[in-house]
């Protein structure tokens, strides 16, 4: 059996680690990205050995992204699924937004996806099979949070699915976006001045999603389980 390969940007995040775990359990090969810390994802590497490979890359640096893509992605013959779970977020209120912070959010949460997809999608067409899943935030529906406007803005860009993927390449590549609601992860507990209890009360189901719930949905959309869903922006939230 020729195991399929998934490349996950942001694999060291809470959702990323759980997503990688599910793919590994399903006998997929995983290429996982991290930037600063690989502790949690490295634990999976200890367990699954050569089935998972990790790479470090600062996605805020466009030059480094392009160099990595040309040197490391081009030689890889087969990448069956591409998932982006990047989540750069710097708590800043609207009045203190600056150009550098804007670029960092855009580069990490959006531009990096374009570069990776540009170097991956032709492999999918050649192999006549592929899945692309980008992540957005439920916050894009509400104009972002008071201090997370740039995060929501940058994730909103992922909801723009290029026409060539909607139509021309749909025969081989199923391309979707998962709009993720409030999830029980470090990122939500970390954001300053974010009243989680108040936020949760606004959710109809009155609770956060779990990483397992989100990761299971990711697998269903970015693996062979998805045989039809394409060109969709799918919410996974408690009714927001």
pTM greater than 0.75 (yes/no): yes
Dump the DSSP string for 135-176: EEEGGGGTT--TTBHHHHHHHHGGG---HIIIIITTTTEEEE
Contact call for residues 177 and 129 (beta carbons, < 8 A): no
CATH 3.40.50.970, applies to 5-236: no
Model confidence at 6: pLDDT above 90: yes
Listed range (84-88, 169-173, 196-200, 209-213) with the worst mean pLDDT = 196-200
Model confidence at 192: pLDDT above 70: no
Average pLDDT over residues 32-46: 92
Contact call for residues 117 and 132 (beta carbons, < 8 A): yes
If pLDDT is split at 50, 70 and 90, which confidence band does 191 have?
A: low
Residue 183's SS3 state is: strand
Buried b (16+ CB within 10 A) or exposed e, 42-69: bebbeebeeebebeebebbeeeebeebb
Task: Give me the pLDDT at residue 120, please.
Answer: 97
pLDDT digits (tens, 9 = 90+) for 135-178: 999 888 888 877 888 999 999 999 999 999 999 999 999 999 99
Task: Name the residue with tokens 């099979």.
Answer: 129
Q: Which residue has the higher pLDDT, 183 or 165?
A: 165
Return the domain boundaries, the chain: 5-236
pLDDT digits (tens, 9 = 90+) for 215-229: 999 999 999 999 999
Average pLDDT over residues 49-77: 95
Contact call for residues 210 and 183 (beta carbons, < 8 A): yes
Q: Which residue has the higher pLDDT, 49 or 146?
A: 49
């Amino acid at each position: 059996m020729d195991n399929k390969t998934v490349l996950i940007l942001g694999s060291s995040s809470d959702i990323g680690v759980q997503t990688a775990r599910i793919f590994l359990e399903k006998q997929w090969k995983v290429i996982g990205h991290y930037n600063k810390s690989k502790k949690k994802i490295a634990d999976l590497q200890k367990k699954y050995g050569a089935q998972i490979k990790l790479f470090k890359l600062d996605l805020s640096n466009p030059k480094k992204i392009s160099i990595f893509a040309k040197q490391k992605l081009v030689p890889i013959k087969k990448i069956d699924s591409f998932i982006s779970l990047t989540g750069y977020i710097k708590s800043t209120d609207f009045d203190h937004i600056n150009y550098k912070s804007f670029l960092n959010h855009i580069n990490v949460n959006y531009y990096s996806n374009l570069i990776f997809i540009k170097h991956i999608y032709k492999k999918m067409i050649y192999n006549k099979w592929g899945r692309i899943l980008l992540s957005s935030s439920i916050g894009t529906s509400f104009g972002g949070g008071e201090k997370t406007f740039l995060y929501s803005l940058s994730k909103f860009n992922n909801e723009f699915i290029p026409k060539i993927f909607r139509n021309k390449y749909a025969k081989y590549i199923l391309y979707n976006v998962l709009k993720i609601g409030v999830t029980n992860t470090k990122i939500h507990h970390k954001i300053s001045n974010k009243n989680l209890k108040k936020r949760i009360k606004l959710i109809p189901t009155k609770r956060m999603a779990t990483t397992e719930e989100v990761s299971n949905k990711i697998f269903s959309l970015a693996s062979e389980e998805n045989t039809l869903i394409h060109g969709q922006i799918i919410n996974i939230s408690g009714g927001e």
